[in-house]
Amino acid sequence: MKSLSFQTRFFFLLGFLVASPFIFILAIVLLNYLNPLRLAYLEEIEIINASGEKIWVTPIGMLESSGKFGPLPRYTDKSFPAFPRGTATNIKLKPRQYIKLIYNWDSINFRYILIYTKNGGTYIMETDKRGDLRTTYPPKFRRYVIPPLSKLSQAPKELLPCMKGKYVKYQIEEYPPELPDASLDDFTIAE
Protein backbone atom coordinates (compact mmCIF):
# COMPACT_ATOMS: atom_id res chain seq x y z
CA MET A 1 0.00 0.00 0.00
CA LYS A 2 1.39 3.35 -1.03
CA SER A 3 1.50 6.10 1.62
CA LEU A 4 0.46 9.66 0.91
CA SER A 5 3.16 12.17 0.17
CA PHE A 6 3.98 15.00 2.55
CA GLN A 7 2.45 17.52 0.16
CA THR A 8 -0.84 15.58 -0.07
CA ARG A 9 -1.06 15.19 3.71
CA PHE A 10 -0.34 18.91 4.14
CA PHE A 11 -3.20 19.88 1.78
CA PHE A 12 -5.62 17.48 3.53
CA LEU A 13 -4.68 18.97 6.91
CA LEU A 14 -4.94 22.53 5.58
CA GLY A 15 -8.31 21.76 3.98
CA PHE A 16 -9.60 20.28 7.23
CA LEU A 17 -8.43 23.29 9.25
CA VAL A 18 -10.06 25.73 6.83
CA ALA A 19 -13.32 23.75 6.62
CA SER A 20 -13.66 22.83 10.31
CA PRO A 21 -15.32 26.10 11.45
CA PHE A 22 -17.93 25.72 8.71
CA ILE A 23 -18.50 22.07 9.59
CA PHE A 24 -18.85 23.05 13.26
CA ILE A 25 -21.39 25.79 12.44
CA LEU A 26 -23.35 23.39 10.22
CA ALA A 27 -23.40 20.82 13.04
CA ILE A 28 -24.71 23.42 15.51
CA VAL A 29 -27.47 24.51 13.10
CA LEU A 30 -28.53 20.90 12.49
CA LEU A 31 -28.52 20.05 16.19
CA ASN A 32 -30.59 23.16 16.94
CA TYR A 33 -33.07 22.23 14.21
CA LEU A 34 -33.37 18.68 15.51
CA ASN A 35 -33.22 19.70 19.18
CA PRO A 36 -34.82 16.89 21.24
CA LEU A 37 -35.28 19.25 24.22
CA ARG A 38 -37.93 21.06 22.17
CA LEU A 39 -40.22 18.05 22.65
CA ALA A 40 -40.75 18.96 26.30
CA TYR A 41 -42.50 22.18 25.23
CA LEU A 42 -44.70 20.88 22.43
CA GLU A 43 -48.42 20.73 23.24
CA GLU A 44 -51.37 19.56 21.21
CA ILE A 45 -54.57 21.58 21.28
CA GLU A 46 -57.92 21.09 19.57
CA ILE A 47 -60.06 23.90 18.20
CA ILE A 48 -63.68 22.87 17.65
CA ASN A 49 -66.15 24.76 15.47
CA ALA A 50 -69.50 24.68 17.28
CA SER A 51 -70.55 28.03 15.79
CA GLY A 52 -72.78 26.52 13.11
CA GLU A 53 -70.94 28.46 10.37
CA LYS A 54 -67.95 27.92 8.11
CA ILE A 55 -65.10 29.88 9.68
CA TRP A 56 -61.35 30.45 9.40
CA VAL A 57 -59.39 30.45 12.66
CA THR A 58 -55.99 31.85 13.60
CA PRO A 59 -54.80 30.95 17.10
CA ILE A 60 -52.52 33.72 18.38
CA GLY A 61 -50.30 34.26 21.35
CA MET A 62 -47.97 36.75 22.99
CA LEU A 63 -44.25 36.30 22.41
CA GLU A 64 -42.32 35.97 25.65
CA SER A 65 -39.49 38.38 24.86
CA SER A 66 -41.16 41.22 22.94
CA GLY A 67 -44.79 41.10 24.03
CA LYS A 68 -45.94 41.15 20.40
CA PHE A 69 -48.96 39.11 19.37
CA GLY A 70 -48.89 36.75 16.43
CA PRO A 71 -49.86 33.30 15.14
CA LEU A 72 -48.73 30.17 16.95
CA PRO A 73 -45.73 28.35 15.46
CA ARG A 74 -46.85 24.87 14.36
CA TYR A 75 -44.96 21.58 14.48
CA THR A 76 -45.48 18.34 12.58
CA ASP A 77 -45.47 15.94 15.50
CA LYS A 78 -44.72 15.59 19.21
CA SER A 79 -42.11 12.90 18.62
CA PHE A 80 -38.46 13.24 17.67
CA PRO A 81 -37.63 14.83 15.31
CA ALA A 82 -40.30 17.53 15.57
CA PHE A 83 -40.05 19.75 12.51
CA PRO A 84 -41.48 23.29 12.33
CA ARG A 85 -44.52 23.51 10.06
CA GLY A 86 -44.96 27.26 9.69
CA THR A 87 -47.61 29.25 11.49
CA ALA A 88 -51.27 28.50 12.15
CA THR A 89 -53.16 31.11 10.11
CA ASN A 90 -56.60 31.05 8.49
CA ILE A 91 -57.39 27.40 9.12
CA LYS A 92 -60.75 26.59 7.51
CA LEU A 93 -63.26 24.79 9.73
CA LYS A 94 -66.68 23.75 8.53
CA PRO A 95 -69.52 23.52 11.07
CA ARG A 96 -68.96 20.67 13.56
CA GLN A 97 -65.36 20.22 12.43
CA TYR A 98 -62.19 20.46 14.52
CA ILE A 99 -58.45 20.74 14.05
CA LYS A 100 -55.55 19.47 16.14
CA LEU A 101 -52.51 21.76 16.35
CA ILE A 102 -49.11 21.16 17.89
CA TYR A 103 -47.24 24.28 18.98
CA ASN A 104 -44.21 25.18 21.10
CA TRP A 105 -45.33 26.99 24.27
CA ASP A 106 -41.75 27.74 25.35
CA SER A 107 -41.64 31.04 23.48
CA ILE A 108 -45.29 32.10 23.10
CA ASN A 109 -48.32 32.26 25.43
CA PHE A 110 -51.51 31.12 23.65
CA ARG A 111 -53.99 33.95 24.33
CA TYR A 112 -56.72 34.23 21.69
CA ILE A 113 -58.37 32.63 18.69
CA LEU A 114 -59.16 35.06 15.89
CA ILE A 115 -62.17 34.00 13.82
CA TYR A 116 -63.03 35.17 10.31
CA THR A 117 -66.33 34.48 8.52
CA LYS A 118 -67.11 34.34 4.80
CA ASN A 119 -69.10 37.60 5.03
CA GLY A 120 -66.10 39.45 6.50
CA GLY A 121 -66.91 39.32 10.21
CA THR A 122 -63.96 39.03 12.58
CA TYR A 123 -64.34 37.76 16.14
CA ILE A 124 -62.07 36.98 19.05
CA MET A 125 -62.20 34.29 21.71
CA GLU A 126 -59.98 34.44 24.77
CA THR A 127 -58.13 31.24 25.62
CA ASP A 128 -55.83 32.10 28.52
CA LYS A 129 -54.50 35.11 30.45
CA ARG A 130 -51.43 33.46 32.01
CA GLY A 131 -47.89 34.40 31.08
CA ASP A 132 -46.10 37.67 30.52
CA LEU A 133 -42.87 38.96 28.99
CA ARG A 134 -40.78 36.82 31.34
CA THR A 135 -42.78 33.60 31.70
CA THR A 136 -44.56 31.19 29.37
CA TYR A 137 -47.03 28.49 30.31
CA PRO A 138 -48.54 25.47 28.60
CA PRO A 139 -52.12 25.99 27.42
CA LYS A 140 -54.74 26.10 30.16
CA PHE A 141 -56.97 23.66 28.27
CA ARG A 142 -56.35 21.18 25.47
CA ARG A 143 -59.72 21.73 23.83
CA TYR A 144 -61.25 25.06 22.79
CA VAL A 145 -64.83 25.18 21.54
CA ILE A 146 -65.88 28.11 19.37
CA PRO A 147 -69.47 28.95 20.38
CA PRO A 148 -72.08 30.69 18.21
CA LEU A 149 -70.40 33.88 17.01
CA SER A 150 -73.08 36.06 18.61
CA LYS A 151 -71.51 35.14 21.98
CA LEU A 152 -68.09 36.50 20.98
CA SER A 153 -66.65 40.01 20.82
CA GLN A 154 -65.57 41.70 17.62
CA ALA A 155 -61.84 41.29 17.05
CA PRO A 156 -59.81 44.47 17.63
CA LYS A 157 -58.52 45.84 14.33
CA GLU A 158 -55.00 46.00 15.79
CA LEU A 159 -54.88 42.18 15.89
CA LEU A 160 -56.15 41.54 12.35
CA PRO A 161 -52.63 41.52 10.79
CA CYS A 162 -52.02 38.33 12.83
CA MET A 163 -54.36 36.55 10.40
CA LYS A 164 -51.75 37.23 7.70
CA GLY A 165 -48.87 35.85 9.77
CA LYS A 166 -47.64 39.18 11.15
CA TYR A 167 -46.66 39.97 14.75
CA VAL A 168 -48.06 43.20 16.23
CA LYS A 169 -47.88 45.21 19.45
CA TYR A 170 -51.20 45.21 21.28
CA GLN A 171 -52.42 46.43 24.66
CA ILE A 172 -54.26 43.53 26.28
CA GLU A 173 -57.98 44.10 26.81
CA GLU A 174 -60.43 41.96 28.75
CA TYR A 175 -62.71 39.61 26.79
CA PRO A 176 -65.05 37.12 28.45
CA PRO A 177 -63.63 33.61 28.06
CA GLU A 178 -65.64 30.88 26.38
CA LEU A 179 -64.55 27.69 28.13
CA PRO A 180 -64.55 24.32 26.35
CA ASP A 181 -67.51 22.10 27.13
CA ALA A 182 -68.07 19.77 24.18
CA SER A 183 -67.35 16.16 23.32
CA LEU A 184 -65.72 15.28 19.99
CA ASP A 185 -68.18 12.46 19.26
CA ASP A 186 -70.29 14.54 16.86
CA PHE A 187 -67.39 16.27 15.10
CA THR A 188 -65.09 15.39 12.20
CA ILE A 189 -61.42 16.28 12.05
CA ALA A 190 -60.19 18.82 9.48
CA GLU A 191 -57.12 18.00 7.39
List the one residue out of 167, 58, 171 whose CA is nearest residue 112: 58
List the one residue out of 47, 36, 35, 100 whose CA is nearest residue 74: 100
Q: What is the SS3 assignment for 124?
A: strand
CA 62 → CA 46, 65, 69, distances in Å?
19, 9, 4
Residue 83 pLDDT > 70: no
Tens digit of pLDDT for each residue in 37-60? 566 668 888 899 999 899 999 998
- 130 phi and psi angles, rounded to 5 deg: -75, 155
Rg (CA), the chain: 23
Average pLDDT over residues 159-183: 66
Residue 180 pLDDT > 80: no
For the chain, what are the domain ranges? Answer: 1-33, 37-189
Q: Which of 74-78, 111-115, 172-176, 179-183 has the highest mean pLDDT?
A: 111-115
Q: What is the pLDDT of residue 66?
A: 75
Q: What is the pLDDT of residue 55?
A: 94
